[in-house]
Structure 1
Amino acid sequence: MSMNNKQRWMGGIVLLGGGTLLAALLFKGAHEIQGNHTQEVKPTQQSSASKPPVPAKVEEMQSLQPVTVDIETEKRLLEEQKRTREKVIADQEAKTQQYLAQQQQAEAAAAKKAAQEYAQINARRVKEQTAVDVPPEVTDKPKQQSVDEKKLALEAKQKADLEKKLEAKKQAELEKKAELKKQSDAAEKERKQRALEDAKKAEQELKKKTEREQAKKVHEEKVKLQQAQEAKQKEKLQTDSDVQHKVEQSHAQTQNELDHKKKSDAEKAREIMKDESDHKKWMVQVALAANQANADTTIAKLKAKGYKITTSPTSKGIRIMVGPSKSKDHADILRKKIQTDTSLNMPSAWVIDWVPLEER
């Protein structure tokens, strides 16, 4: 019984050591995962370190960070971080599988060695008990054979019980490993889901920031465009005002020039006509009006220029003449002046030797 207890203690020590090693590996893997996650969050925390502490969640702190890269670069960085995490997880799973295989090999070797030692101990015990219990003088072969058969049956039963216990223990270990693996897979799945949600949330925050910046940029451009249009409109109004002022000045100047010219023409006409007497007969015929209305219009134009007008009815219409002049030369000069005056529009004026009807 002492040897069985020893074997049980040895098996328990082996299992305890294996469990400790498995727990250490799992703790190390979780620590590495936490370290990677801490390294991912660390730049955000460092960028927020210069600000005063505000009680807020990590997501809210991340949403307050300024955008330093564009969307494509952020996506590429997220993909690289995702690939790094997947590589670390794959390495941890490979290490875990390797450790499980090593542990299974160690357990199989320990079970095999324990079975061998148990068989040797049972053989030695049977030999010792045979030497002690059977006196030398007993030579009854059937009885000795029966004892040996009972011992062998007992050993076979003990061996079967041991194998059954080892099998049950092995099954329990496998179930425990499967449960641990299931828990590890569930934790890894939850961590991946959380990381995916964090990545989606970060992408949404980045998208919102980009949209806000674009809206702000569009608003600023719209304001600038509106200001430019207002400045342009103001400049146009100022230009139009300046042009209008110049036009008004030019119009006033032109009007003054025309008034001055009219005054000058009237003075010249008066100078030409001042020495003329009513008995002179050299006249400048300027038009032949079909009726009195047309004659009055032409007479008004000429009087506005300061000319002395004489009319004479004929069978073809009303003759309109300027004069009389003191000489033919003086009448010819007056004709040229009337023809060159575009405001009168009388290019067909000519000099005539006119005699009033009562003097004929």
Structure 2
Amino acid sequence: MAMNNKQRWLGGVVLLGGGVLLAALLLKGNDEIQQQSGLETAASGVRPVEQIRLAHEQGASSAAVPLQPLTVDVETEKRLLEEQRRARESAVAEQEAKTAEFLKMQQQAEAAAARKAAEEFAAMNARRKAAQQSSDNIPPEVNTTAGSAAKTAEQKVAEQKAAEKKAAERKAADQQKKQNEDAAKKQAEQRLAEEKRQKAAEERKQELAKQKAAEDKKAEDRKAEEKKRKAQEEAKKKAEAEKAREIMEHGDKQWMVQVSLAANQANADAVAAKLRAKGYKVTQSPTSKGIRIMVGPSKDRGTADSTRKKITSDPSLNMKSAWVIDWVPLDQR
């Protein structure tokens, strides 16, 4: 195992060094090509311009001197360009040759490293075989001790793996426990929020129920008060009727002043209220044509007639049709 790692390490070093050298060579070649391109540009851009400028200067100095043809300069530039192209091709060929040589050296180094690793592996196998042969001559007790040592080493490795496995399981259990705790915490928060919402809803419901109960109680109180008032009015009317009946049935001959015959009880009550406000004693008696309203009784006709005149002369009462009657209860007629 150690030899294989060493071989891998040596191979990686060789490959890394070769890659660095190859990159340096490629970068150098690229720089040379760029320099050659710059020279071409400078040569092709400067020389013809310079020749044209000199030709113009000569033409300006003497009109009799003929202009030099540009054919020579163009041929020169072509020749220079061809030389530069050949130089670039030569540089590229040289660079490729160096690269091929480097690859060849790299392959040789890899082959040497592989050969050396094979030799070391063979030597290690030879040592292992020699050790195995020597161990055959060792007494059983020594072999047992070596086996026990090997077994102890294996046990240590197994124990280490078991410990690592337990640590991984414990870590996974801790993570799962944390996830469960987070989920439980989240559920508890949701449950608490739901309980708060339900409690608020229940409180609102109770408040509405209290308001409704209060309104119902007020309505019941109003109904009871109205019922009590009506009962009191009915009792009062009944008492007055009983009193009038007692006077008419069991008294001596009585004279009454009849002031009106109301069509209904409401009109009769209104007329009776006006008379009572003036201090008159009023008696009501239902008939087949309406409700008779009378003032009295009086012991004699003269007193009753005086009362009639007093009533008819009172403009606030507006009762002109009052008359005196001899009142006798129906069961005594």
TM-score band by shorter chain is 0.3 to 0.5
Superposition TM-score, scaled by structure 1 size: 0.34
Flag the structure with larger Rg. 2
